Amino acid sequence: MTIAAWPASERAWERTKGSLAGGVSTGLRASMKPHPIFVEGGAGPRLTDLDGNSYLDYVLGWGPVILGHGHPGLTAAVSAQLPLGATYGTGHLLEAEVAEKVLDRIPGMERVLWSNTGTEATQVALRLARGVTGRRRFIKFGGHYHGWSDPMLVGYRPGADGTLGLGSQGQNPSALEDLVLVEWGDLDAVAEALKAPDSDIAAIFCEPVLCNSGVIEPPEGFLAGLRELCDATGTVLVFDEVITGFRIDRGGAVTRYGVTPDLVTLAKAIAGGYPLAAIAGRASILERTTQGIVHAGTYNGNPVVLAAAGATLDALDEPGVYDAFERQGRALADGIRAGFARHGLAVTVNQVGPVVQCIAGVADARTFTDFIGADQEFYDRLTVQLLRRGVFTLPGGRWYLSTAHTDADVAHTVQVLDDALAATLA
């Protein structure tokens, strides 16, 4: 049975547009096809909407809901904290207990700073890098996303003129002066940029797997090469693990690729859907926040979200979690590939653990430029056909799995995809 229309969601959207800009809480959500669906609630890997439709959820809140919806351990931990108060504004042991769990999982990290969103975490990381080096500029890679702040929202997607520049109207154009933009994987270009006598580079930022633009892994030796260049030049190496952290391995990209940066930014999966972010790193850098580098925030170390994080990290330590992520991620990726092939359609499917990327219309996408060439119009229509068949996916081609998804869910999804592809082509 397919869903013909979403009358209750449509009515809800009409109503919410009267009070919320765009009718939902981000511009991206407003752009979801055919329109945002309005959720009644979630359970495990499923969401139910106001029309009573149930969906297998591969959006997972755009990544954070790594245990699925309403996970009992997570819910119990949050419920136990709620009567004890929402926030304290001074020390409490939970903030250290969860920091210890982070340090236990990511080798080479010595301290943690708590923050609320990935955007804040990357901002703080940049400020720390500037503070400890006394330098101003930073290197980032085309297509990497480090949040929506003025300095960071650069070089993410081509603008109307086709170039990779500022990411938003109203953004301070000085962001361009502070940036050296390099192609992902081009170590020679990084070395060149660092060598320039007036380079003034404080940090290299990267998503260690380019999850936001194609789930493109670093070329062999590339992260180690960045580490060497940073060591040689006194540059701060930052892995933005907002997506990869605790997801592609127990210790994220640091353990998966065996390279230790100076700072790691974390968010999304860390608290199973609650708003928490962290900066982990070397003590000599993070301790500078007590010596003049400002890291502030009323909600930093919030006990409710930290209760969620403690329970999430414990649940991710259950035996077999990362094996299941890898197995299901592969099955989903293989299924998408096979479905496109059966319908004679070109595709590239990349997968790292429970993160899968479908690049429709491009046979062998290896670079950010290849990824940008995806057939977005076709993929948008496919997401609507998937939605009609009870599979909720992100617009840009990325799929997330949670611990609540089963092998049977993935097998069912692959079958549904076949029908959805046929309907998209019809």
Does the CA dihedral 110-112-118-119 come out positive or negative? negative
> Does 145 participate in catalysis according to the annotation?
yes
> Does 88 participate in catalysis according to the annotation?
no
What DSSP line would sit under 290-322, residue for residue?
GTT-----TTTT-HHHHHHHHHHHHHHTSTTHH
Measured from the CB of residue 116, what is the shortest distance to ligand PLP in angstroms? 8
Count residues binding ligand PLP (CB under 6 A).
Answer: 13
Amino acid at 39: V
Strand ranges for 85-193 from DSSP E:
111-115, 137-141, 154-158, 164-166, 179-182
* Cα-based angle 52, 55, 60 (whole degrees, multiple of 5): 125
Measured from the CB of residue 30, what is the shortest distance to ligand PLP in angstroms? 16
Smaller CB distance to ligand PLP: residue 119 or 351? 119
Facing residues of 85 across strands? none
Smaller CB distance to ligand PLP: residue 67 or 206? 206
Contact 184, 210 (CB under 8 A): yes
For residue 44, what is the DSSP state? Answer: B
Q: What is the spatial distance between Cα 326 and Cα 89, in angstroms, rounded to a whole number?
A: 40
Smaller CB distance to ligand PLP: residue 49 or 207? 207
Contact 327, 401 (CB under 8 A): no
User: In 3D, which of 113, 123, 119 has the Cα closest to residue 289?
Assistant: 113
Measured from the CB of residue 81, what is the shortest distance to ligand PLP in angstroms? 21
Query: Catalytic pick from 57, 178, 240, 249?
Result: 240
Measured from the CB of residue 344, what is the shortest distance to ligand PLP in angstroms? 33
Residue 66 makes contact with ligand PLP by CB under 6 A: no
Measured from the CB of residue 4, what is the shortest distance to ligand PLP in angstroms? 33
**Contacting residue, 98, 236, 243, 316, with ligand PLP by CB under 6 A:** 243
**Contacting residue, 118, 261, 335, 390, with ligand PLP by CB under 6 A:** 118
Smaller CB distance to ligand PLP: residue 152 or 365? 152
The span of 116-124, 185-193, 247-255, 302-310 binding ligand PLP (CB under 6 A) equals 116-124
The span of 71-79, 218-226, 237-245, 361-369 binding ligand PLP (CB under 6 A) equals 237-245
For ligand PLP, what does the binding mask look like between residues 143 and 182, x meaning CB under 6 A?
--xxx-----------------------------------
Residue located via tokens 């869903």: 3
**Contacting residue, 81, 119, 367, 403, with ligand PLP by CB under 6 A:** 119
Smaller CB distance to ligand PLP: residue 55 or 274? 274
Q: Which residues contact 73 (CB under 8 A, 6 or more apart)?
A: 67, 311, 314, 315
Six token digits for residue 66: 């790594």
Does residue 237 come out as left (phi exceeding 0), alpha (psi in the -120 to 50 range) or beta?
Answer: beta
Strand ranges for 215-354 from DSSP E:
236-240, 263-266, 277-281, 347-352
> Does 268 participate in catalysis according to the annotation?
yes
For ligand PLP, what does the binding mask look like between residues 197 and 216, x meaning CB under 6 A?
----------x----x----
For residue 289, what is the DSSP state? Answer: G
Smaller CB distance to ligand PLP: residue 55 or 400? 400
**Contacting residue, 9, 53, 115, 117, with ligand PLP by CB under 6 A:** 117
The residue number with the shortest CB distance to ligand PLP is 118
Smaller CB distance to ligand PLP: residue 356 or 421? 356
> Rg of the Cα trace of the chain?
21
Q: What is the spatial distance between Cα 307 and Cα 56, in angstroms, rounded to a whole number?
A: 27
Smaller CB distance to ligand PLP: residue 119 or 312? 119
Query: Catalytic pick from 55, 58, 145, 400?
Result: 145
**Contacting residue, 81, 122, 328, 383, with ligand PLP by CB under 6 A:** 122
| Strand, coil or helix: 73 | helix
Six token digits for residue 303: 């006990």
The packing angle between helices 187-195 and 222-233, to 10°, is: 10
**Contacting residue, 112, 175, 206, 242, with ligand PLP by CB under 6 A:** 242
For residue 45, what is the DSSP state? Answer: T
The span of 134-142, 235-243, 302-310, 343-351 binding ligand PLP (CB under 6 A) equals 235-243
Which residues of this chain interact with ligand PLP, rule CB under 6 A? 117-119, 122, 145-147, 207, 212, 240, 242-243, 267
The catalytic site residues sit at: 145, 240, 268
